[in-house]
Copies of this chain bind each other. A is one copy, B any other.
Amino acid sequence: MNLSSSLLESAVKEFSKLPGIGKKTALRLVLHLLKQSEEEVTGFSDTIERMRKEIKFCKTCFNISDSDTCTICLHPSRKKEVICVVENIRDVIAIESTEQFNGVYHVLGGIISPLDGIGPDQLTIDSLVDRVKKEKSKEIVFALSPTIQGDTTIYYIRKKLNDPGLKYTAIARGIAFGGELEFADEMTLARSIRNRLPVDSYIQ
């Protein structure tokens, strides 16, 4: 794309570095910003810059936070003894938006995946172990991706915690709501039959 302005060209280039944004979309976004007032555009760029500079990670659960401890960990009515282990921040947001979980989180920062070069040491597993001991946790809820890597991570953490008094649970796996039975893979279908539920708990 040959643009008549190098300022425009570099702005388009910056936008097209973002995931899922091609050159044409980037140009549309930049031309949109060009139509806005200077104040609005300064507001946009300042907010982004400030976010990157000032955002912190919660020292307890590694969720993103404005201060050293995130609002979820600080919340008085959340059950500190139930810890939901997730891969990343996006998963925290997804679970929070269901409004079905009243415990706290632990963000691993990834899952064990030798093929991608991610071992247990790169994740926040050690601080999870410390935390569980210190906080006298009662239940660990694993909300990890239903993949071999996810299962490996669950297995590893469980072994590392090595506490028979703890209750270990994992989010239910099965046919997704609206999904068609005939297109489900064998493993999912097998699991969902094995872990069948009483109909009363099903329809809620």
Binding site for B on A (CB under 8 A): 1-8, 10-11, 13-14, 17-21, 25, 27-34, 36, 38, 41-55, 58, 63-66, 70-72, 89-90, 92-93, 96-97
Contact = CB atoms under 8 A, between A and B. Distances in A.
Q: Number of copies of this chain in the oligomer?
A: 2
A91 to B, nearest CB: 11
A181 B30 CA distance: 36
A38 B53 CA distance: 7
Given A4-B92, A5-B55, A31-B90, 17 more contacts: A4-B63, A4-B64, A4-B70, A4-B72, A4-B96, A5-B66, A7-B55, A14-B47, A18-B32, A18-B33, A20-B28, A21-B29, A30-B48, A34-B51, A36-B52, A45-B45, A45-B49
Given A48-B14, A48-B33, A55-B7, A1 B38 contact: no
A133 to B, nearest CB: 24
A31 B33 CA distance: 21
B43 A14 contact: yes
Given A5-B70, A34-B64, A10 B47 contact: yes
4 smallest A-B Cβ distances: which pairs?
A45-B45, A41-B52, A11-B51, A45-B49
Contacts of A52: 33-34, 36, 38, 41-42
Contacts of A49: 41-42, 45-46
Given A45-B46, A49-B45, A27 B64 contact: no
A5 B54 CA distance: 11
A92 B42 CA distance: 27
